[in-house]
Structure 1
Amino acid sequence: MSVATRHDPSGPVDAPVAPPRIVRQRRMRPGLLGLAVLLIALGGLGAAFAVTSVRATGSYLAVARAVPVGTVLGADDLFAVQVAGGSGLSPVPATRIHDVIGKRAAVALTPGTLLVLDQLTDQPLIGPGQQQLSLGLKTSEVPARQLHPGDKLLLVSRPARDSEGSSAPSTRFEATVIDTASPEDGELVLYLALAERDVPAVVVLAAESRIAVVLTTAA
Structure 2
Amino acid sequence: MSLATRNGTPSVDAPVNPPTVVRQRRVRPGLLGLAVLLIALGGLGAAFAVTSVRATGSYLAVARPVEVGREISAADLVTVQVAGGQGLRPVPAARLDEVVGKRAAVALLPGTLLTLGQVTDDPLLGPGQQQIAIGLKTAQVPARELHPGDKVLLVSTPDTDADADTAAAGTRFTATVIDMVSPANDDKVLYLALLTRDVPAVVALAAQERLAVVLTEAA
For 1:161-201, what per-residue CA distance to the aligned partner results, in whole angstroms no more than 9, with x for missing partners?
xxxxxxxxxxx98999x9xxxxxxxxxxxxx96427x39xx
Report deviation, 1:25: 1.5
Equivalent residue for 2:195? 195
Q: 2:133 aligns with which of 151, 169, 179?
A: 151
Measure, in 2, the Cα distance between the counterparts of 1:19 and 1:87.
69
In structure 1, the residue corresponding to 2:128 is in which secondary structure? strand
Measure, in 2, the Cα distance between the counterparts of 1:123 and 1:49.
41
Report deviation, 1:21: 3.9
- Greater gyration radius: 1
Measure, in 2, the Cα distance between the counterparts of 1:20 and 1:42.
46
User: What is the TM-score with the length of structure 2 in the denominator?
Assistant: 0.54
Equivalent residue for 1:112? 111
Q: CA RMSD in A?
A: 4.1
Measure, in 1, the Cα distance between the counterparts of 2:83 and 2:118.
20
Any unmatched runs of 5+ in structure 2? 4-13, 136-171, 179-191, 208-219
Alignment of 1:123-202 (within 5 A): 123-127=122-126, 130-132=127-129, 151-152=133-134, 194-195=194-195, 198=197
- Indicate how the Cα distance of structure 1 residues 91 and 49 shifts in structure 2: closer, same or farther if over 3 A, else same: same
Alignment of 1:38-117 (within 5 A): 38-117=37-116
| Residues matched between the structures, number | 150
- Indicate how the Cα distance of structure 1 residues 124 and 26 shifts in structure 2: closer, same or farther if over 3 A, else same: same
Report deviation, 1:151: 2.3
| Identity between Structure 1 and Structure 2 (%) | 68
Contact 1:152–1:174 (CA<8 Å) still a contact in 2? no
Measure, in 1, the Cα distance between the counterparts of 2:174 and 2:134.
7
Measure, in 1, the Cα distance between the counterparts of 2:69 and 2:16.
100
In structure 1, the residue corresponding to 2:80 is in which secondary structure? strand
Any unmatched runs of 5+ in structure 1? 5-14, 134-148, 154-171, 179-191, 203-210
Measure, in 1, the Cα distance between the counterparts of 2:75 and 2:2.
99
Contact 2:57–2:81 (CA<8 Å) still a contact in 1? yes
Equivalent residue for 2:211? none
